[in-house]
A and B are shown apart, each in its own frame.
Chain A
Amino acid sequence: MEEEKIHVDVEDFSEEQFMESFMRDIQSEEGVLIIGILVALALVILTIVFFGNFWGSSKARNAVLLLGLCDSGKTLLFTRLLLGKFVRTQTSITENSSTYKSKNERGSSWTLIDVPGHESLRVQIVEKYKAVAQAIVFVVDSSVFQKDVRDVAEFLYSILTDNIVAKNAPTLVVACNKQDISMAKSAKLIQQQLEKELNTLRVTRSAALSSQDGAVGGSVYLGKKGKDFEFTQLPNRVEFIECSALGSKGEDGDADIHNLENCLAKI
């Protein structure tokens, strides 16, 4: 019993001692502890602020890029899709981006980005947005297509063989614009010519990829080896449609972009 008493006493004593010593510790290291807590809080706040600033757009791919050569009508198409009205346009030197509400039942909205077509700008801006692209609308000027077929094909090739784009496989819609001009080529013709041109480009650009490591540009081979290139061989969903951003009645009338809108609604 004495031992128990002593034991109990000792226990009580030790607890109190522990508490006291703890309080003493806090009071002596008060400065350091409080500073530590403050620093931790500050770091947390900083991280929240950083994330708040730069986490604005969600990580999901929700952008549609309007790409194409200079003067193919991308900026006008951009305005027509968003508001339906006509504006005069000049060569773009920066990109235009805005949210677009698509006309399907779900009413989903995504970002529509109009990328300048000028050769010195397009590479940098495509670099910025290619990872978030859910779909690519490639605008082609149908009236001067015969002359520009090689430039169009080269741009299309460089996009399709890009590593990130090839991996994500966004939907590709080739919009053959300027159908209001009488000399405009049809979508079918443009598709055939592009297939032929891309076939040749495959050969010149990536003939001996197996023997050479670190090749220029993307190391992606379009389509199937041994067979002529066709758009159906690509993993992406490809559609060719005709449209006219200007519209048959010019500035006052509506644009003939119903096909395009239907296409975009499916995304």
Chain B
Amino acid sequence: MLDFFAIFSKGGIVLWCFQGAGVTESFTGPVNALLRSVILQERSGNNSFTHNSLSLKYKLDNEFELVFVVGFQKILTLTYVDKFIDDVQLHFRDRYKNELEQRGALKFLLNNFEFGDDFHTLMREAEVSSKAKAPVSMRNFNESEKSKKTVKSMIETKDGDKTKEQGGKKSKNAKKEGEKSESGGDQAKAASKKAVENGNESLTQEEIIERNRAKFISKQLGGGKAEKPSKSPKPQKPKGKANRVWDMGGKSIGELDYSGTNGNNSSDAQNQDPDATAEPLIQVDSMKGDLRGVDYESSDDEDEVVQEEERVVVANTKKGAKKGGFGGMFGMLKGLVGSKNLTQEDMEPVLDKMRDHLIAKNVAAEIASQLCVSVAKKLEGKVMGTFTTVASTVKQALQDSLVQILQPKRRVDILRDVLEARSQRKPFVITFCGVNGVGKSTNLAKISYWLIENGFTVLIAACDTFRAGAVEQLRTHQRRLNSLHPPEKHGGQPAVQLFEKGYGKDAAGIAMEAIAFARNQCFDVVLIDTAGRMQDNAPLMTALAKLIAVNTPDLVLFVGEALVGNEAVDQLVKFNQALADHSKTDKPRLIDGIVLTKFDTIDDKVGAAISMTYITGQPIVFVGTGQTYSDLRSLNARAVVSALMKA
């Protein structure tokens, strides 16, 4: 029934494996996929995973650093698998306890783990036990619980008050039934017992009358109030809609037309903007090369460690041990000598505190809880060192998993990719999408400044045909950038050009034309600016998905602001879903990267970074830290995590 069962160490060495009869495919592929997408992305909360037609269940043994994985066909619903894995794990541990307690990786290699016989016995037992449960026969009426209840107790009155029943009445009924059934005292006793349990639990008559009286009085007082507010909104509805009065209404079209002043300037695109030269803060050539990481006051410990010469590793462990040592002394004095296994109960209070801390730092609530569950799974059963407390172990594990989440899963080097595209004589296309007001156009301008600094030519495609002033905004940026990098420096060609077709047109069509134009004119990069849209707005999401599916950009960047809280999860999930649903290919283009904007407005509540990377699994490519052109950074995972874990 099972396709395969594998036991391997966390270091990757397979100790023992079993392949079901008739299964030809190797299990390496599915298990690697499981490891990469679940365990390494800290999603080990639920322990099952599907890969093509296989369903995989796994269990981590943290004491001996083992992983147990079982795979079976998705269409089979095997109920015994969970318990089976637990049994196998316990059996394996007991049998090979001595070998597994040795230190070093050699223990996995030197010992032969002949587990086949035990495994087959266990499997047979599990299969037999699952079949042994005979189908439960239906109870007849007399055995059911319903016969024990009285009819009146099952009637639901208007107050929803079953307990209005007087205990006396019930017992009377029960007695009557008992007499009727002629089976004697036993059944009456049983019935009356049941009635008492169902009802008022031995209230006396007087108490019941008192309660009913109080209820009656309160109903008279409160019921009237409850009815009144429901009546009041009704009479307001039939009022008709009043006509809306606009401020600018009544003025002539001529007055409202401002295109005259614009038209003069748009004709010569090379016009130098006098404002830009007056800007004292932009330093040309300051953004060459790779982006700087986000500045954070890293703790002094880190600096010292970096500057020390050869004692880095030893010093680190010494410091850590000393800090934990004094806390650990008290922990040890609490009655535990020697190594101790971590259990769920031990970690529970610490994890709750950590979860609240993360939520206070603006991590989305469900992400924080999933993370804590995943960390608990990773630490369960682990043996703690002699001088460490539960709190310090959990904190360290949480810190490691946060850094792991923020590390990019693929290479993030835009400049290198642009060079590659240039060598293939096609433009590198980047699309920016996101909800309204997150900073797409501003960060697009910053990124084009960075690219120009590194010697590339940029075409900005104004595919935001909805928002008033979007095209003008991009034109202003283009003029400013060109004045900072005059065409003479770039061999006569302007560094930035704007491709726009006005307002009201189809965004996907404009994008396609822009890319064709860039290819003809040999531009290096095309930056496509789209309109902001809410994730619930289905027609707009369809339009965005169509733009991306038709034009297949090299990079789809989701722009999100760092201030967003739980909304981040909803936005990203719905954006990804829309992109997947409306693409016609098997492998839809999803969000490839995240731009985190307005990072200077949050102090150390940097949780949005975690939420976004966790949900998509994609790296944060750029971080926007202000409104000038040089306020563009790359993410420094360690700094963000230390800000997150800071008290």
Contact B13 A206 (CB under 8 A): no
With A96-B105, A119-B407, A121-B40 given, is the CB distance from A89 to B318 under 8 Å?
A: no
Name, among B13, B17, B420, the residue most crowded by chain A CB atoms within 10 Å (CB to CB). B13
Contact B310 A61 (CB under 8 A): yes
Complex Cα distance, B521 from A182, in Å, reads: 42
Name which residue of chain A comes closest to B417, CB basis.
A150
B313-351 contact mask (Cβ, 8 Å, vs A): 1 or 0: 110011001100100000000000000000000000000
Q: Which residues of A contact B311 (CB under 8 A)?
A: 59, 131
Contact B290 A204 (CB under 8 A): yes
Partner of B35 from the list A90, A167, A207, A208 (CB cut-off 8 Å) is: A90
Q: Does A169 have its Cβ within 8 Å of any Cβ on chain B?
A: no
Query: Which residues in chain A, 203-222, are within 8 Å of chain B measured between CB atoms?
Result: 204-209, 211-212, 214-217
Q: How far is the CB of B519 from the nearest CB of chain A, in Å?
A: 23
Contact A204 B317 (CB under 8 A): no
Q: Which residues of A contact B419 (CB under 8 A)?
A: 200, 204
Q: Does B454 have its Cβ within 8 Å of any Cβ on chain A?
A: yes
Contact A129 B313 (CB under 8 A): yes
Complex Cα distance, B405 from A50, in Å, reads: 33
Q: Choose the segment among B4-12, B429-437, B470-478, B582-590 that binds chain A (4+ C-beta atoms closer than 8 Å).
A: B4-12
Q: How far is the CB of B503 from the nearest CB of chain A, in Å?
A: 38
Contact B289 A204 (CB under 8 A): yes
B561-588 contact mask (Cβ, 8 Å, vs A): 1 or 0: 0000000000000000000000000000
Contact A209 B289 (CB under 8 A): yes
Name which residue of chain A comes closest to B28, CB basis.
A90
Query: Which residues in chain A, 118-132, are within 8 Å of chain B measured between CB atoms?
Result: 118-121, 123-124, 128-129, 131-132
Partner of A151 from the list B290, B313, B411 (CB cut-off 8 Å) is: B411
Contact B416 A90 (CB under 8 A): no
Q: Which residues of B contact A204 (CB under 8 A)?
A: 289-290, 413, 415-416, 419, 454
Q: Does B14 have its Cβ within 8 Å of any Cβ on chain A?
A: yes
Complex Cα distance, B295 from A88, in Å, reads: 44
Q: Does B39 have its Cβ within 8 Å of any Cβ on chain A?
A: yes
Q: Does B634 have its Cβ within 8 Å of any Cβ on chain A?
A: yes
Contact B11 A75 (CB under 8 A): yes
Q: How far is the CB of A256 from the nearest CB of chain B, in Å?
A: 20
With A119-B407, A164-B312 given, is the CB distance from A212 to B292 under 8 Å?
A: yes
Q: Does B32 have its Cβ within 8 Å of any Cβ on chain A?
A: yes
Q: Does A97 have its Cβ within 8 Å of any Cβ on chain B?
A: yes
Complex Cα distance, B313 from A87, in Å, reads: 31
Contact A206 B289 (CB under 8 A): yes
Q: Which residues of A contact B106 (CB under 8 A)?
A: 82-83, 98
Q: Which residues of A contact B415 (CB under 8 A)?
A: 204
Partner of B11 from the list A99, A114, A123, A211 (CB cut-off 8 Å) is: A114
Complex Cα distance, B409 from A118, in Å, reads: 8
Contact B13 A79 (CB under 8 A): yes
Q: Which residues of A contact B313 (CB under 8 A)?
A: 128-129, 131-132
Partner of A216 from the list B14, B35, B293, B309 (CB cut-off 8 Å) is: B293
Q: Which residues of B contact A79 (CB under 8 A)?
A: 13, 109
Complex Cα distance, B361 from A118, in Å, reads: 28
Complex Cα distance, B295 from A79, in Å, reads: 42
B383-408 contact mask (Cβ, 8 Å, vs A): 1 or 0: 00011000000000000100111011
Q: What is the count of residue pairs linking A and B with beta-carbon distances less than 8 angstroms?
A: 163
With A93-B10, A207-B288, A211-B286 given, is the CB distance from A87 to B416 under 8 Å?
A: no
Contact A154 B411 (CB under 8 A): yes
Q: Which residues of A contact B405 (CB under 8 A)?
A: 120
Contact B290 A205 (CB under 8 A): yes
Q: Does B110 have its Cβ within 8 Å of any Cβ on chain A?
A: yes
Q: Which residues of A contact B104 (CB under 8 A)?
A: 97-99
Q: How far is the CB of A72 from the nearest CB of chain B, in Å?
A: 12
With A50-B321, A204-B419 given, is the CB distance from A214 to B65 under 8 Å?
A: no
A83-122 contact mask (Cβ, 8 Å, vs B): 1 or 0: 1010111111111111100000000000000101011110
Q: Which residues of A contact B11 (CB under 8 A)?
A: 75, 92-96, 114
Q: How far is the CB of A93 from the nearest CB of chain B, in Å?
A: 5
Q: Which residues of A contact B35 (CB under 8 A)?
A: 90-91, 93
Partner of B306 from the list A91, A129, A163 (CB cut-off 8 Å) is: A163
Name, among B41, B110, B289, B295, the residue most crowded by chain A CB atoms within 10 Å (CB to CB). B289
Complex Cα distance, B109 from A205, in Å, reads: 41
Name which residue of chain A comes closest to B385, CB basis.
A53
Q: Which residues of B contact A75 (CB under 8 A)?
A: 11-13
Contact B110 A83 (CB under 8 A): yes
Complex Cα distance, B373 from A47, in Å, reads: 38
Contact A90 B411 (CB under 8 A): no
Listed from nearest, the 5 A-B pairs whose CB atoms lie closest are: A92-B12, A208-B288, A96-B105, A96-B11, A88-B14
A54-B318, A89-B14, A118-B36 are known; give 4 further A-B pairs, CB within 8 A.
A83-B110, A90-B35, A116-B12, A208-B289
- What are 12 A-to-B residue pairs whose CB atoms are below 8 Å? A59-B311, A83-B109, A90-B8, A93-B12, A119-B409, A124-B403, A131-B311, A200-B416, A201-B413, A204-B419, A211-B285, A215-B292
